[in-house]
Amino acid sequence: MVQSIDDARRSQRSVSAGRVPPHNLEAEESLIGAMMLSRDAITAAVEARVDESDFYKPAHAHIYTAVMALYSQGEPVDPVTIAEELRRADLLEALGGRQKLVSIQANTPASSNAGHYAGIVSELALLRRLITVAGEIAESAYSQPDDVTDTVDRAEARIFEIAEKRVAESMVRVFDSVSETIEQLSNMYEGPEGAVTGSPTGYTDLDELLLGFQNSTLLIVAARPGMGKTSFALGAAANVAIVTKRPVIFFSMEMG
């Protein structure tokens, strides 16, 4: 793992012709520091599909690997446990010792911003991969290959691999989705009969049928003109805004 991470860094730098590839060391350190402070931050990194190869600085990649190893084992994640994990891998002193970990944790702006830090790290890693692949494609084209069609197909495949990772970041693991659904169903089952589990519409009979407005649900209200559809929708929107304190946006084709 150590060798593969360092090799990836050298590959990314070699194609830049003296130019420094896109990176943000502060974002990398802030993400790692947030993960030391909060398990929610680790979850944010996992959801963003960040992996060790996304880090520009090898030291950050090794620390991230140690954090994820502890997390996957259900162990606490802090400078002490991370230092021990790195010590077992014979990396601690080379990375600056435990004091370096303490410094990263202490300089973290806000653990609640972990998702944002993870996004920065992931996006810049994609750009570096794009630079690497673009350089390889250029070298291949300069060599004037005999099979141009095959060269183009290979280039398209390499670019697609990069794009595929970006698409995958918006996907949710089946395990996570099922767990969330089971929790929602359990809450509904254990709650009072007829309890509103979504945002209340303000119309009692309707809430008994729908249990309130549910997430990711499209509701269509149909009736002849002048039957009160707009008034009904406005009433429901106002109730959600007032009762749940959630922002509501209302559009009407009748606004002109």
Residue 253, pLDDT > 90, answer: no
Give the residue from 168, 188, 208 where a domain finishes: 168
**Whether residue 128 sits in one domain with residue 69:** yes
**Whether residue 78 sits in one domain with residue 145:** yes
So what's the pLDDT on residue 191?
60
So what's the pLDDT on residue 214?
82
So what's the pLDDT on residue 15?
47
Residue 63, pLDDT > 90, answer: yes
Residue 5, pLDDT > 90, answer: no
Residue 232 sits at the vertex; the CA angle it makes with 227 and 234, to the nearest 5 degrees, is 130
Q: What share of the chain has pLDDT > 90, as a percent?
A: 47
**Whether residue 202 sits in one domain with residue 160:** no
Query: Which distant-in-sequence residues (6+ apart) come within 8 Å of 13 by Cβ?
Result: 21
Residue 255, pLDDT > 80, answer: no
Taking only the tens place, the pLDDT of each residue in 181-209 is 787 677 666 666 556 778 888 888 888 88
**Whether residue 135 sits in one domain with residue 239:** no
Other beta carbons less than 10 A from residue 117's beta carbon: 29
Tokens of 1: 């793992």
Q: How many CA atoms lie within 13 A of 7 on its CB side?
A: 4
Which segments of 168-256 are extended strands (E)?
A: none
Taking only the tens place, the pLDDT of each residue in 99-148 is 999 999 999 999 999 999 999 999 999 999 999 999 999 999 999 988 99
Give the three-state DSSP class for 199: strand
Residue 256 banded pLDDT, cuts 50, 70, 90: low
So what's the pLDDT on residue 3?
47
Tokens of 98: 């435990």
Which segments of 96-240 are extended strands (E)?
A: none
Q: What is the mean pLDDT of residues 207-215?
A: 82
* Average pLDDT value for the chain: 85
Q: How many domains does the chain have?
A: 2
Inside any domain, residue 177: no
Full domain range(s) for residue 212: 196-255
**Whether residue 86 sits in one domain with residue 202:** no
**Whether residue 161 sits in one domain with residue 83:** yes
Residue 23 banded pLDDT, cuts 50, 70, 90: very high
Residue 179, pLDDT > 90, answer: no
Higher-pLDDT residue of 211, 234: 234
Residue 246 banded pLDDT, cuts 50, 70, 90: confident
Find the CATH number of the domain harbouring 149: 1.10.860.10
Q: What share of the chain has pLDDT > 70, as a percent?
A: 83
